Amino acid sequence: MYHVKEAFYTLQGEGGQAGRASVFCRFSGCNLWSGREADRTAAACRFCDTDFIGTDGQNGGRFADAALLANHLATLWPDRDGPGARAGTPYVVFTGGEPLLQLDEPLIQAMHARGFEVAVETNGTLPAPAGIDWLCVSPKGQNALAITAGSELKLVYPQTDAPPEHFAGLAFDHYFLQPMDTGPGTAELPVDTAVNPAVNTTAASVAYCLAHPQWRLSLQTHKITGID
């Protein structure tokens, strides 16, 4: 049984595929936080910007097998462009919560069978199934990585327990810094354990990328544009 908080059609807002039309599938649950605000300051990941509890969101629900969930997600991709237009390759982004608690090879194969490329947004602490086309790992503090290679490493910055230097030698194709969103509904940040809220996280990310050109800036463009 797959538990899905919500699913929706939007533009990928972050990282190396930013701007690409995508079906997002947000799985319920995470291994680094319960999702309850009361637990945030004691959690292994404390700055999450996402509600991933339950299955009550837009197009959310419980799906008994891979074919049922894949059919549901495929309905969210729009009909083909008009005559003369080139159809973009259908693209699904599995996120969460932590998608690698639930994503498995049958679901990846079911999306491939429906013509989709498969992307994943993960905290990197759990092993990944085979067949993922675009793998984004976003490390969280001192939580050990089970995945040390992939398409992109997208580090939320700054995190005192996870400086970029810890990851610069891993085997990813692209390296991004994404400024930590410290706004309402995201981080209730303990100053000593995460990041001082007085820091301008975007300015700090820009400065780091200028000084370390291995790293590129990833802005959360869906928040800037207000599309989701």
Ligand X SMILES: Nc1nc2[nH]cc(C(=O)O)c2c(=O)[nH]1
Q: Which of 2, 24, 47, 91 binds ligand SAM (CB under 6 A)?
A: 47
Instruction: Quote the CA–CA distance of 58 and 51 in Å, as a whole number.
Output: 12
The residue type found at 91 is: Y
For the CB of residue 153, give the shortest distance to ligand SAM in the complex, in Å. Answer: 10
181 is in an annotated binding site: yes
164 near ligand SF4 (CB under 6 A): no
Q: Say how far apart CA 32 and CA 62 lie, in whole Å.
A: 22
When binding is defined by CB under 6 A, the residue of 28, 59, 95, 178 that contacts ligand X is: 95
C-alpha 104/C-alpha 164 separation (Å) is 30
Contact pick of 12, 28, 59, 122 for ligand SAM (by CB under 6 A): 122
Q: At what angle do helices 66-74 and 105-113 cross, to 10 degrees?
A: 40
Q: What is the largest CA-CA distance in the chain?
A: 58
Residue environment code for 7-37, b if the CB has 16+ CB neighbours within 10 A, otherwise e:
bbebbbbbbbbeebebbbbbbbbbebbebee
Residues that bind ligand SAM (CB under 6 A): 30, 47-50, 95-96, 98, 121-123, 138, 154, 156, 178, 180-181, 186-187
Residues that bind ligand X (CB under 6 A): 10-14, 50, 95, 121, 222, 228
Which residues are known to be catalytic? 24, 30, 45, 48-50, 121, 222
Binding residues: 11-13, 26, 30, 45, 47-50, 95, 97, 138-140, 178-181
Residues that bind ligand SF4 (CB under 6 A): 30, 32-33, 45, 48, 50, 52, 96-98, 123, 140
